[in-house]
Amino acid sequence: MQEAVNEPWVHTPSEVLKEFYWQAYHLVRDRAPHWLFVMHDSFNATLAEWGDFMVGCPNFAIDSHLYQAWNAPAPLETFVASTCADGPRLDRLRQGGLNLVVGEWSLATDNCAMWLNGFNDNLPGYPLVDCMRVPCAEPYMGDSQPGAPPPRDAGVMNDPRGTGESFVVNGTCPIDKPLDDEDAAMRQLALAKLYAYHFAHGSFYWNFRTEIAYRWSFEEVIPLLHRPPSALIPLLGYQSLSGYQSRLAASRGDQDVQPHAGGPRGHPARL
C-alpha cells in the first residue's frame, strides 16, 4: 500500500491535486502494479468530489481521516452521536462506488497530546480544555541522554515555542483530559467508531503505540474491548467472542487483558 501525500489541506486546488494523484498512480502502477495506491481526500470525502475520479482503474482507494480531537469541547454523548452519523455517510459513499478507507482515527476528544500539532506548538488558541499532565516519558537512549527525562523543578522549559500550548512544565507533559468514568466512556466511543467505520472498506487506528497519550495508542485501547457486544465480533474479524479473546491475550503475551481498574486514569502506562 502506498499513499502519495499525507493530508493535503482542504484548500488545495482540486484539479492540481487530482493531476498529482494521477501521475503518482501511474508511477506506482509501472513499478509495483500489485500495490494499493491510496489518496487522501483533502478533507472532502464526497461523491461529488471523488465519485467520477479514476473510474475503472484497479488498486486504488480514497483515504479519509476521521478525528474528533479538534472538535469543540462536548459531553461524551455528542462525540458518540457524531461518530454514529459517520456510519450512514460512509455507507452512502460505498454504495455510490467509492473505495474509501478510514486511514486514521483515534479516541482523542481534545488535542492535548504532547506535540500533536508540532514540536512545542499547537494551533492558535488550543487546547480548548484544561489538559491533564503526567510525568514525561523516560528517554529511549537511557540515563545518558542529556536533559531527559526533564527535571521536575525546571518550570517551563526554555525551548523555542509556537503559538499554542504543548510543552514541558516541571517535568510533566500534557495528555488528554479524562472524561467522567474514563474507561467506560472510551469503550463506548470505541465501539461506536468500530461500528461506524465498518461501512468503509477498512480502517486504521492511529497510532499503534504511544508513550503517554493512551487515547492515541491502539495497544492501550485493546483492553477496553475485552468483551465487545456479540454483534461487533464479526466486525473485528473473528467468529466468536472466545476466539477474539484468545487472540487478544496472545497478542499481549499474557492472559491479563482486563481494562484498567479504578476511575479516570491518573497515570497511563508508559509504553
pLDDT value of residue 258? 37
Torsion 237-243-245-251 (CA) sign = negative
Residue 171: HSE in the Cβ half-sphere, 13 Å Cα cutoff = 11
- CA distances to 65, 179, 185, 239, 271 from 264, rounded to whole Å, are 27, 7, 10, 32, 18
Euclidean distance between CA atoms 69 and 111, whole angstroms: 5
- pLDDT < 70 positions in the chain: 155, 157-159, 226-241, 243-245, 247-271
Question: Is 148 in a helix, a strand, or coil?
Answer: coil
What length is written for the chain? 271
d(CA 246, CA 52): 43
Residue 262: the pLDDT is 30
Domains of the chain with bracketed CATH: 2-110+180-252 (3.20.20.80), 115-175 (no CATH)
Are the beta carbons of 232 and 191 closer than 8 angstroms? yes
- Confidence (pLDDT) at 261: 31
pLDDT on residue 257: 34
For 3, the enclosing helix (H) or strand (E) is strand 2-3
E strand or H helix at 135, and its extent? strand 132-135
Count of alpha carbons within 13 angstroms of residue 269, beta-carbon side: 11
Q: Which three cell numbers stand for residue 48?
A: 461529488
Q: What pLDDT was estimated at residue 263?
A: 31
